[in-house]
Amino acid sequence: MKNSNQSAFKTPLVLFLFLTIMSCNKEKRETVRVEEPKKMIIPIDEAKELYDTYGKRRVGLIRNYEDSLNRPKGYDDRQQDGQKAQESSPEEAASFVPTRYVEFDFQELQNYMKFIEQEAGDAHVDITNLRVYLTNYPNKKEFKDGRKVKNPRRNSVMMVPTVKRGDKDFAFYTADDSKDGRRKAFLLNEDLEDTGEAVGGGEKEKASLIPTSMPKPLKAPLPAINQQSLYGNEGGLRPPS
């Protein structure tokens, strides 16, 4: 009789747990709808107009400038249209192909966003914006670190997170402060040069306490340790070269 009572008690309990688990799984499967981000999304027609306007006002200028670098001395630009049709070899007829867009692998982009959030968290700062810089690959075979320049002379973009300092946003990289060992965000100005300031790590401080109106000391502050770049790049350029 005792065993029968225990079984009768366990059956509703197991059923309750089963229904609870199924209900939780159903809630997890339901996708939360995200409202249209009004500050980001622009109309389809407007996007096409922006793309076409760049093509009309910028692409030709870029192509003509880059092509001019390969022309012989004394070349008359006024002869360009007439001569192009008469050029004999495909190499001579080829023109520089300006970049029209850059695309990033979606998963890689998500990983990048998670990484910069992680680095900002380690430095105890909040990311305020994702800044996009217009860039141009140098006309050489490789960078200083030996990495190959994949698209010489081509335009591209790069991303970098920003953090608030006073009423301004600054791009930044993370590093260990050489003074106290704390992980901080080291600020860069709009030209991506070090400002000598770091935020986060539990406190804010300047690399130098000397007023800016006085001459800078001859001895530079100690460099930050374990610097981590937060620049995002290496997207696919289109059209291909």
Cβ pair 179, 153 in contact under 8 A: no
pLDDT at 67: 92
Residues 228, 115: one domain? yes
Residues 115, 228: one domain? yes
- How crowded is residue 20: how many other Cβ atoms within 10 Å of its Cβ? 10
Residues 43, 156: one domain? no
Residues 75, 108: one domain? no
pLDDT at 7: 52
Amino acid at 83: Q
pLDDT at 88: 38
Residues 105, 93: one domain? no
Residues 119, 208: one domain? yes
Collapsing DSSP states into helix, strand and coil, what is residue 236?
Answer: strand
Mean confidence (pLDDT) of the chain: 80
Cβ pair 149, 234 in contact under 8 A: no
Domain end point (choices 98, 132, 161): 98
Residues 124, 72: one domain? no
Looking at per-residue pLDDT, the higher value among 193 and 14 belongs to: 193
Q: How many whole angstroms separate alpha carbon 194 and alpha carbon 143?
A: 21
Sign of CA dihedral 229, 119, 200, 169: positive
Domain end point (choices 83, 98, 113): 98
Residues 170, 140: one domain? yes
Residue reference for tokens 């260990």: 176
Residues 113, 208: one domain? yes
Q: How many whole angstroms separate alpha carbon 53 and alpha carbon 26?
A: 48
Residues 154, 65: one domain? no
Say yes or no to pLDDT of 46 above 90.
yes
Number of domains in the chain: 2
Cβ pair 124, 201 in contact under 8 A: yes
Query: Mind listing the pLDDT tens digit for each residue in 84-140?
Result: 544 434 444 568 999 999 999 999 999 999 999 999 999 999 999 999 999 999 999
Cβ pair 116, 127 in contact under 8 A: yes
Comparing 141-150, 178-187, 199-208, which segment has the lowest mean pLDDT?
Answer: 199-208
Beta-ladder partners of 135: 156
Confidence of residue 32 (pLDDT cuts 50, 70, 90): confident
Residues 110, 83: one domain? no
Residue 181's domain comprises 101-238
Can you give the length of the chain in residues? 241
Read off the pTM: 0.71
pLDDT at 188: 96
Query: Mind listing the pLDDT tens digit for each residue in 213-239?
Result: 434 443 445 667 899 999 998 777 777
Residues 67, 112: one domain? no
